[in-house]
């Protein structure tokens, strides 16, 4: 076959193919860090500077988290480019993070030339070996003829089915070699055929079960967000149609508007009293795009003992993994919700009004506990107060929130009310401190005019704070809002509750002067330690056109409640410090993380 006769086949180098494939897959922004083994790709990038914006990060972990933030806030695929050896190993945390949270990203890594592989060459490492367990799939490209196909498969696998990270490891000689590029449409994968549509019989059974429910609850998760904004719209319609209460995991926040009265708040370890009690006592649980994570279920054998469980997920391996369910449905959450609405309407189902009214009465009694209330003692800023003020002052703006990991993250999840999907970027599954700053960069790059805030802890920010330099260089005016308690607060809380208050290595004697640090980076630093000054300081941060580091000095010993201690059941929640003395964490519970 004469290849020149077919217009879609062009001869180019491997590096050019990479750039061409990025363009063909609609990529406009990538995050990366150069090195010897990716020089040819960087050279091709130089030529494509008008079409592809590259953000130079300060650490490859930052590149991957930025790609995650970009992906999570846009629904598109995030892309990162790293060099071989240390470039690739630095990317590993981000890959593991994206795998657990089902974030679609393509990471391109350079590799030593094919003839050097296996010789312990300079900056050689077994990238596919190291990243195999923390990617959805990965490839080492050994032949230029395979490169176009692999590039296209990578985007397909990362973005479809249960999304996730993929790595393409490209040896340097392959980047230089010439070959024939084929366009995306021309490849179809031999084995990868992800599910999508829901089985209509299973949906009909599920809907019949829902219609007969007396104490139903929707338990929604990141799968609804991943199913696209339409899925969130459909969720709203289904909740409206049925009148059922709805709770969500950490990853699912925003799929259902937090201002609505059907919203019970987040569930799980730091979930609300009403959400966890409703999960415990319900008779029909409708799990949508969730995975019954241990942070959600608490003690497995005491998890929602009396309910029939419907479980919709696109990944068959999540069915019956932690919790046995009665009705599994393997499908895209959005498709399943749409089908449920259709069946509910077709069959003219009506919810059991009387039973539902009683259920709601019960829920209102739980709600009346006001479980997120806190005591304002002392003159300092309570972290909860800081989040509440941040919420009030930003809620009417076009705001995106990222977080680090710790107490501040949980307070943000509990108190910041999300009305839309894709506005909340947090490291849920892996719990990666250091996620928030680079993720915010990714979000800001995709939404130049929006307000992007990283709700942070002083511990976490020090893991990736070098990315403030990236923020300055790339003109990304992110706001880093630190709840500074000088403690690795979440760990300190566990030490208080489980280890007799022995605060082993959780206090930071030394901390940088964050205001000076901000200035040194070329950002703006703001410090606030008085509740009465907080609003003005937050407004100053919001109005600042530059990246801002906000050092909000908060109560050092505040604990995050409610809390289900590890190994306990949903109905064994601790609500405040006074409760905690009465609660004994079992030895088995202490084993859990």
Ligand X SMILES: Cc1ncc(C[n+]2csc(CCOP(=O)(O)OP(=O)(O)O)c2C)c(N)n1
Residue (339 or 430) nearer to ligand X, CB:
430
Among candidate residues 272, 263, 259, 220, the one with its CA nearest the CA of residue 245: 263
Residue 122 falls in the annotated catalytic set: yes
Which residue, 155 or 411, has its beta carbon nearer to Mg ion? 411
- Across-strand partners of 286? 218, 310
Does 436 contact ligand X by CB under 6 A?
A: no
Is residue 45 within the footprint of ligand X (CB under 6 A)?
no
Say which residues have a Cβ less than 8 Å from residue 348's Cβ, sequence separation at least 6: none
Strand partners, 32: 56, 81
Measured from the CB of residue 91, what is the shortest distance to ligand X in angstroms? 15
Query: Does a cis peptide bond (omega within 30 degrees of 0) precede residue 562?
Result: yes
Tell me which of another protein, Mg ion, ligand X, none is bound by residue 333, counting a contact when its beta carbon lies within the kind-specific cut-off of 5 to 8 angstroms. Answer: none
d(CA 142, CA 237) in angstroms, rounded, equals 50
For the CB of residue 57, give the shortest distance to Mg ion in the complex, in Å: 24
Annotated catalytic, 490? Answer: yes
- Binding-residue pattern over the window 377 to 406 for ligand X, x denoting contact by CB under 6 A: ---------------------------xxx
Pick from 20, 73, 249, 432: which binds ligand X (CB under 6 A)?
Answer: 432
Distance CA 198, CA 467 (A): 42
Least separation in angstroms between residue 292's CB and ligand X is 21
Stretch that binds ligand X, among 40-48, 80-88, 265-273, 428-436 (CB under 6 A): 428-436
Verify binding: residue 137, another protein, rule CB under 8 A. yes
592 backbone dihedrals φ, ψ, rounded to 5°: -80, 155
**290 binding another protein? (CB under 8 A):** no
Gyration radius (Cα) of the chain, Å:
25
- Give every CB contact of residue 40 below 8 A, 6+ residues apart in sequence: 13, 14, 15, 172, 175, 176
Closest distance of CB 517 from Mg ion, Å: 16
Considering 28, 76, 123, 580, which one is annotated as catalytic? 123
**Which residue reads 């009690």 in tokens?**
277
Paired residues of 412 in beta bridges? none
Which residue's CB is nearer to another protein, number 96 or number 455?
96
Q: In the set 433, 445, 538, 574, which binds ligand X (CB under 6 A)?
A: 433
- For residue 217, give the H/E element and its range: strand 216-220
202: CB partners within 8 A, 6+ apart: 327, 328, 329
Of 508, 526, 528, 509, give the one whose Cα is nearest residue 517. 526
Residues numbered 464-523 forming contacts with Mg ion, rule: CB under 5 A: 485, 489
Nearest approach, Cβ of residue 383 and Mg ion (Å): 9
How many CB atoms neighbour CB 104 within 10 A?
Answer: 26
Q: Is 133 in the site for another protein (CB under 8 A)?
A: yes
Query: Does residue 458 bind ligand X (CB under 6 A)?
Result: yes
- Tell me: does residue 436 bind Mg ion (CB under 5 A): no
Q: Is 485 in the site for ligand X (CB under 6 A)?
A: yes
Per CB under 8 A, 315 contacts another protein: yes
Please count the other Cβ atoms lying within 10 Å of the Cβ belonging to residue 472: 15
Q: List, in sequence order, the alpha helices (H) in 474-527.
A: 489-498, 514-521
Q: Which helix (H) or strand (E) holds 40?
A: helix 39-47
**Does 474 help bind ligand X (rule: CB under 6 A)?**
no
Binder of residue 523, out of ligand X, another protein, Mg ion, none (CB less than 5 to 8 A by kind)? none
431 binds, among Mg ion, another protein, ligand X, none (CB under 5 to 8 A by kind): ligand X
For residue 172, indicate whether it is catalytic: yes
Residues binding another protein (CB under 8 A)? 128-129, 132-133, 136-137, 140, 142, 157, 189-192, 300, 315-317, 319-321, 324
Which positions are catalytic? 60, 122-123, 172, 490
């Amino acid at each position: 076959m004469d290849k020149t006769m077919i217009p879609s086949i062009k001869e180019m180098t491997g590096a050019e193919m990479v750039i061409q494939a990025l363009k063909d897959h609609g990529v406009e922004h990538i995050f990366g860090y150069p090195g010897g083994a990716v020089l040819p790709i960087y050279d091709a990038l130089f030529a494509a500077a008008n079409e592809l914006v590259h953000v130079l990060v300060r650490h490859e972990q930052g590149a991957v988290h930025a790609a995650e933030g970009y992906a999570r806030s846009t629904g598109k695929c995030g892309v990162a480019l790293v060099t071989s050896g240390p470039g690739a190993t630095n990317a590993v945390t981000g890959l593991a993070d994206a795998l657990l949270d089902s974030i679609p990203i393509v990471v391109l890594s350079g590799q030593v030339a094919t003839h050097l592989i296996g010789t312990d060459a300079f900056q050689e490492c077994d990238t596919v070996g190291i990243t195999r367990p923390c990617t959805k799939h990965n490839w080492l490209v050994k032949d230029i003829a395979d490169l176009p196909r692999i590039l296209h498969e990578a985007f397909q696998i990362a973005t479809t089915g249960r999304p996730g990270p993929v790595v393409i490891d490209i040896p340097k000689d392959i980047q230089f070699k010439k070959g024939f590029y084929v366009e995306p449409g021309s490849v179809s994968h031999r084995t990868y055929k992800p599910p999508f549509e829901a089985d209509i019989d299973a949906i009909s059974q599920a809907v019949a079960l829902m219609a007969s429910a007396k104490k139903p609850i929707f338990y929604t998760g990141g799968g609804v967000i991943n199913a696209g904004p339409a899925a969130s719209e459909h969720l709203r319609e289904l909740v409206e149609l049925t009148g059922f209460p709805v709770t969500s995991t950490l990853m699912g926040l925003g799929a259902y508007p937090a201002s609505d009265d059907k919203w019970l708040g987040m569930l799980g370890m730091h979930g609300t009293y009403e959400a966890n009690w409703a999960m415990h006592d319900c008779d029909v649980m409708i799990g949508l795009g969730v995975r019954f994570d241990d942070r959600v279920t608490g003690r497995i054998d005491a998890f929602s003992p009396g309910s029939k469980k419907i479980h919709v997920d696109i990944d068959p391996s999540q069915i019956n993994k932690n919790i046995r369910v009665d009705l599994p449905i393997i499908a895209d959450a959005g498709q399943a919700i749409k089908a449920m609405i259709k069946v509910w309407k077709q069959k003219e189902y009506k919810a059991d009004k009387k039973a539902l009214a009683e259920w709601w009465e019960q829920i209102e009694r739980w709600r009346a506990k006001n479980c997120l209330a806190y005591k304002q003692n002392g003159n300092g800023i309570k972290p909860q107060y800081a989040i509440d003020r941040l919420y009030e002052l930003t809620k009417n703006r076009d705001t995106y929130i990222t977080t680090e990991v710790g107490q501040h993250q949980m307070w943000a999840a509990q108190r910041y009310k999300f009305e839309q999907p894709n506005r909340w970027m947090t490291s849920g599954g892996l719990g990666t401190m250091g996620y928030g700053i680079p993720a915010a960069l990714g979000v800001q790059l995709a939404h130049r005019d929006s307000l992007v805030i990283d709700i942070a802890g002083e511990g976490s920010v020090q893991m990736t704070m070098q990315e403030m330099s990236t923020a300055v260089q790339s003109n990304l005016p992110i706001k880093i809002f630190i709840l500074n308690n000088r403690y690795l607060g979440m760990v300190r809380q566990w030490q208080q509750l489980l280890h007799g208050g022995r605060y082993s290595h959780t206090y930071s004697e030394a901390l940088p002067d964050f205001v000076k640090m901000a200035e040194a980076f070329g950002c703006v630093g703001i410090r606030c330690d008085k509740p009465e000054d907080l609003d003005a300081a937050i407004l100053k941060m919001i109005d600042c056109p530059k990246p801002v580091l906000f050092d909000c000095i908060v109560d050092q010993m505040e604990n995050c409640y409610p809390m289900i201690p590890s190994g306990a059941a949903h109905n064994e929640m601790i609500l405040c410090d006074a409760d905690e003395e009465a609660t004994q964490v079992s030895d088995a519970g202490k084993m859990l993380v």
